[in-house]
Structure 1
Amino acid sequence: MANTRYFLSRVAQALITFISVLTLTFALIRLMPGGPAALIRAQLETSGQSFTEEEINNQVELYTQINPETPIPQAYVEYVTSVLTGNLGESIWYSRSVMEILADAMPWTIFLSAVSLLFIYAIGVALGAAMAYVEGSKFDFSSSLVSVVITSVPFYVIAIILLWFGGYEWGLFPTGGRVSQDVAPGLTIGFIGSILYHAAMPLAALIIAGFGGRALAMRGNSIQVLGNDYLRVARLRGLSERRISLKYVGRNAILPMYTSIMISIGSLFGGSIILEQIFSYPGAGYYVLNALNARDYPLLMGGFLFITLGVVVGVFIADLTYGLVDPRTGSGADRESF
């Protein structure tokens, strides 16, 4: 019963968050002075062509999914219905369905975010644990110094450095695109290799900029755990150092870091807007920034919704799977008892 109640509460939170974003998007389109609807109307009225009021309203509705003549409550219901059925309007700049553009682009953004997140935490956890076990050594000092330095450098600075040297100066990696044009799509070594080849520098930028902070967090958590009395008892019982490090130290040090995954998901999706533009990597972030520069509001709002949905789903999954890492909180019962 507790498991079901906890699951339903998290589903409700995710739905409320997404509906709130939909409402905000509707307000920006319909109510904001100089917003998308007003811009499209102004473009049509100053285009030099003769449009009737009905034709202008039809064009505004085509691109924004909102008819200016419709009452706001009815327009809101129609807008939410359109979004939930996958109708996000037409892109002004690309003259294509917004859903079609983003459905093609979003998996690539998810790919970059998921793979980089996996490596960031794998490297950070392993390095942080190693630093804690040799606290005060030269390795600990040098690793901590490097972690502090790379954590202080924004990821886009690292991305520009990698692009300049790896792409332009040395010519080791492509400077744009998601896959080579001459490679046929499919589950082949050539196609998968081309994907990884084009994603190498964007992934490297995210991983280099991200693992240092996780390593420092893991180091601090591990040092705190290593000072607990139950580890001395475990050694007195004759438990192997490997079992102690994995079952007691590693597990308890990782627990406080797991919740930071939720924040990382949001920052990676948000950062994709800049990262994908630097590497000319056509993911959702790439199209969102292009839409902003072109004042393509339907695509901009659709990209905003897609990225928000990705963050909500990621946080939802991370929240539900926390119980796999710490069974004491798996049902949420312990949380509710405090």
Structure 2
Amino acid sequence: MDWRVRRIGQALFTVWGVITISFVLVRTMPGNPMSAMVVRYEEQGISPAQARHLVELRLNINPQEPIPIAYLNYMASTLQGDLGQSLYYDRPVAEILATALPWTLFVLSWAMFISFFVGIALGALMAYWEGGRLDVGLTGYATVMGSIPFYVLAILLLVVFGYRYGVFPTGGRQPTGIEPGFNWPYIRGVIHHAALPVISLLVVSGAASLSMRGNSIRVLGEDYLRVARLRGLPDSTIAVQYVARNAILPMYTGLMISIGSMFGGSIILEEVFAYRGVGYYMMSAVDQRDYPLMMGAFTIITIAVVIALLFADLTYSKIDPRAGGEGREGF
């Protein structure tokens, strides 16, 4: 079987597992949400039959149905994009998350790609001047800042630049009083609101520069570089086509894997800055015991991570032919 088919199959299996876990948690965990929601509705004076009907509408699970039938109906509804109705916001979960997901991707993509490309440049410089002041200084900075949780820095930045000096907004994701659209005042306001969350992730992301430094130093000692110098190739050609290209390759998969950690970190980050992305709504769902929204956000985050890793796996062989073809069959 072709390795690409196996990878796609593994991704689909993971998505199926996540949806199944969501069903099991809703149906069977202690103090299960279904019973809690029925009791909540009954406390509001709603009859037990009507309460069960409302729970069915909210969770896409009929409490009266046998578990296998309820599971099949839940799976069918979820695959059709029906994630239920939010208890707190009284809106479809799919609608809430569809509105929030682009904002989360906007912040995470800027932070991820800026840190990645800046890390590549700094790592290459650190390797070129190994042992020099630049190398020692940047290595120390990356080590120290990489050990600081990003949410600690986020709170400090919010207090200093948000509340104390008022340089950046203290919450929200877009400017008020400006018509949303493709116009500079609105775009500038969106960037202004996203600046602190992005900076919080950038300042503490030193792993890329350290990885690039290590990869570059390893590549600099390879025999084929000595052969390239003996052939009289220019330093620029050696640096770009030999050193940089081979040093970047191991970092590509790491870039995609970092999407998972960033999505997980967005829950706290968006709560700190009141930035209404997927993480913000997931935290809100936990606080309000909004089970449909909680499970929907969990499912969306997991699917996004699975897609990113699958994309990395399927495209890695395009930038490194050694990783493709028959060599993948043994994996």
The one-character-per-residue Cα deviations of 1:142-184 (angstroms, maximum 9, x if unpaired) are 1100010110101101111111111111111111111112221
What's the Cα RMSD here? 1.4
Structure 1 residue aligned with 2:148, among 146, 153, 157? 153
1:22 aligns with 2:15: no
Aligned match of 2:160: 165
Distance in 2 (alpha carbons) for counterparts of 1:50 and 1:308: 35
Distance in 1 (alpha carbons) for counterparts of 2:141 and 2:121: 15
Q: Tell me the SS of whatever aligns to 1:95.
A: coil
- Show the 5 A alignment for 1:39-118: 39-47=36-44, 49-51=45-47, 53-118=48-113
1:134 aligns with 2:129: yes
Structure 1 residue aligned with 2:279, among 264, 279, 285? 285
1:251 aligns with 2:245: yes
Distance in 1 (alpha carbons) for counterparts of 2:185 and 2:5: 44
TM-score by length of 1: 0.95
Aligned match of 1:334: 327
Letter in 2 for 1:67: N
Distance in 2 (alpha carbons) for counterparts of 1:42 and 1:56: 8
Taking a change above 3 Å as real, the CA distance of residues 337 and 297 of structure 1, as seen in their structure-2 partners, is closer
Aligned residue-pair number: 331
Distance in 2 (alpha carbons) for counterparts of 1:226 and 1:313: 34
Distance in 2 (alpha carbons) for counterparts of 1:250 and 1:132: 11
1:198 aligns with 2:193: yes
Distance in 1 (alpha carbons) for counterparts of 2:46 and 2:72: 31
How far is 1:262 from its partner?
3.1
1:123 aligns with 2:118: yes
Aligned match of 2:223: 229
The one-character-per-residue Cα deviations of 1:115-141 (angstroms, maximum 9, x if unpaired) are 211111101111011000000101110
1:13 aligns with 2:10: yes
After alignment, is 158-167 or 286-295 more displaced? 158-167
Taking a change above 3 Å as real, the CA distance of residues 173 and 75 of structure 1, as seen in their structure-2 partners, is same
Structure 2 residue aligned with 1:303, among 284, 297, 301? 297
> Is the 1:277–1:285 Cα contact (8 Å) retained in structure 2?
yes
> Is the 1:90–1:98 Cα contact (8 Å) retained in structure 2?
yes
What percentage of residue pairs aligned between the two structures are identical?
Answer: 49
> Is the 1:288–1:299 Cα contact (8 Å) retained in structure 2?
yes
Distance in 2 (alpha carbons) for counterparts of 1:259 and 1:86: 29
How far is 1:50 from its partner?
4.6
Gaps of 5+ in 2: none
Letter in 1 for 2:214: G
Gaps of 5+ in 1: none
Letter in 1 for 2:328: R
Letter in 2 for 1:57: R
> Is the 1:155–1:205 Cα contact (8 Å) retained in structure 2?
yes
> Is the 1:98–1:299 Cα contact (8 Å) retained in structure 2?
yes
Distance in 1 (alpha carbons) for counterparts of 2:260 and 2:88: 27
Q: Tell me the SS of whatever aligns to 2:198.
A: helix
> Is the 1:36–1:64 Cα contact (8 Å) retained in structure 2?
no
Distance in 2 (alpha carbons) for counterparts of 1:25 and 1:152: 33
Distance in 2 (alpha carbons) for counterparts of 1:336 and 1:261: 24
Q: Tell me the SS of whatever aligns to 2:56.
A: helix
How far is 1:337 from its partner?
4.7
Distance in 2 (alpha carbons) for counterparts of 1:247 and 1:124: 18
Taking a change above 3 Å as real, the CA distance of residues 247 and 50 of structure 1, as seen in their structure-2 partners, is closer
